A and B are shown apart, each in its own frame.
Chain A
Amino acid sequence: MWELIQQNRRKSLVLFFLMGCCLVLLGYLLGASYLGPNGGMIGISLALIIWLILSLISFFAGDSIVLGISGAQEITPDIHPQLFNVVEEMKIAASLPAMPKVYIIDSAAPNAFATGRKPETCAIAVTAGLLARLNRDELQGVVAHETSHVVNRDVLFMTFAGIMLGSIVLISEVFLRGLWYSGGSSRRYRSSSDRGGGQGAAIIAIVAIIFAILAPILAQLLYFAISRRREYLADASAVRLTRYPEGLASALAKIADSDEQLPRANKVTAPLYIVNPLKREGEKLSDWTSTHPPISERIKILRGMAQGAGYLDYQQSFSHVTGNATLIPASGLKDTAAVPVRIASSKSAVEPSEKSLKRGVGDLVRAMNGFLFLTCACGLKIKIPPDFKQSSLPCPRCRRELQVPTAELATVAVGIEAASTEATYVRKSDGWESFQCACGKNLQLSPAFKGSKIVCNSCGKSTTIVSSETK
């Protein structure tokens, strides 16, 4: 595993270096064509300064920018205990030093991504649509894929490669547009004022224009090559973590099945996701210009892993399906003597219908926004918004009067020390409960809530939760 990361790093560094060369060359040519023969160095330094600034921004704020753009919202374990558990399982399997933060994206399109420069501060975000569609094993496969991105340092690398690509695109775009608008006049001016080096300058200008057109394309192809390779590797690592290739395979199949688009993904954030959120499954031709390998191929490789769940098995299946020679270098394979596939966890195989799927997404989003769920004796599930103030309501179906779990004020503890004016709330049962924070907002407790404190998400005050048994 560790050799794999090293090898991965080396190969990516080569590609990274090539992109860097693109950037430097571009800077040189543009500088030379605008400012004359001595302008090359100025051009290079300008290009590098742009790259440096963009890098610094992404290094210090990249995670929050990406999470912000995607509309991800951090969740607590009680909103979706299973997702939390699955993330923790993968944290253990991958020996991550700390628990990743867990985010849910309010979208019906199934997708997921990971961010974080280093394993200590990573975050994993999944969409509500993904959670509603996948069963436990599939979710585990997806989370394992994302965890692998973090462990293999893909996030760090793709961010920097993306920044370099961005700088190249930015510089050549500015140059070409500038040329377009000021084109005629400046060229006439230059040709009349050129004396000795006229020939040379003209050649440099032409080369610069050609390169400014080609560089972004070239850099993009390099970038895509890195990205695709890393997707395969993350699949391989995910299988090794979960020991269960079918989980990820059927998750990918389900994701490929949905037509839903992720509206908040864009070109910059696309490579971070588990499947490309922008393009639908395409023909062979688009392979070269895609950040992700075709889903069908990824599934075929995973399902071809008959014997085991090690890197060796993935490698064999990979070369069998794609006809390509190697994905994982021999040095990374030697520790995988025999990695047996585990059996599926027993879960009902009933696939959610379209309707229940939509309902699942809706419920999840409501739970994130502080809704309360009541189940009437007639079986109807009633969703109560957080600002509902009455203490009871009739069931819309059977007219039975239902008690809204008392939205009473959390009693402000009259502590021995006046300094600790922290509110406490005593649980009455193990079911869903809600209480009112000092600021007036209703907070809920799920049956799975285990902590001793809950922090109000509107006023930020924390309330101590005392379970009825300990009291």
Chain B
Amino acid sequence: MAVLLVLLGILVLVVIWLVGMYNSLVGLRNQVKNAWAQIDVQLKRRHDLIPNLVETAKGYMQHERGTLESVTNARSKAMGADSVGDKAKAEGELSGAISRFMLVVENYPDLKANQNFLALQEELTSTENKIAFSRQAYNDQVLFYNNKIQMFPSSIIAGMFNFQQSDFFELEDKGDREAPKVDFSQK
């Protein structure tokens, strides 16, 4: 009788442990998804900011029509992109266009003195940072999740319930080889 009870106790403990492990894996998987969504949120924010920025800068930068247009075009291209590969590429181009624009701005002291523009510039700088940091956070989460899936003993449960490894956010893997040299991770 006592032996039976002990066995039953062990069984209950094992089940509790299994459930806990499974739940923590699900939690991690959701965190990875959430981190991915965060990147999209920031990209969208950048799309929303650009029209305002271009509108403000237009009056001051008559001679830089080309730079402004390239920013606007890159934005609409990025917004229209469907597949993940296209999107990564278009966003990369947009980043390049924005950083060129920011360099050009240095030549326009009037523009740089405009309070409104300064506020927008801060927002844009911050959004660029947030994009970079959300990618960084995503990769951190993926690393932790993948480690958990591969390592014993959680690997047993991951195998049983078919937890798939997530991919890192690496531009090289998403068909961005030919794009201009803009590396998100270094931003």
Which residues of chain A have a CB within 8 Å of any CB of chain B? Answer: 1-2, 81-82, 85-86, 88-90, 92-95, 136, 140, 241, 243, 335, 340, 342-343, 345-346, 375, 430-432, 446-448
Contacts and interface: CB of A to CB of B under 8 A. Distances in A.
B126 A95 contact: no
A91 to B, nearest CB: 9
Contacts of B134: 92-93
B35 A95 contact: yes
Interface in B27-57: 31, 35, 38, 42
Interface stretch (B4-12, B66-74, B80-88, B138-146): B138-146
Interface of B: 31, 35, 38, 42, 102-103, 106, 115-116, 119, 122-123, 125-126, 129-130, 132-134, 136-137, 140-141, 143-144, 147, 185-187
B126 A431 contact: no
A446 B125 CA distance: 19
20 contacts: A1-B144, A2-B144, A81-B122, A81-B123, A82-B126, A92-B130, A93-B134, A95-B31, A95-B35, A95-B140, A335-B143, A335-B144, A342-B132, A345-B129, A346-B102, A346-B106, A375-B115, A430-B116, A447-B116, A448-B123
Contact of A335 (B125, B129, B147): B147
B137 A136 contact: no
Interface of chain B, helix or strand or loop or mixed? helix
A95 B144 CA distance: 13
B133 A89 contact: yes
A126 to B, nearest CB: 16
B185 A340 contact: yes
Nearest to B128: A345
Contacts of B186: 340, 342-343
A298 to B, nearest CB: 23
Contacts of A136: 125
Contacts of B106: 346
B88 to A, nearest CB: 19
A448 B119 contact: yes
Nearest to B117: A447
A92 B133 contact: yes
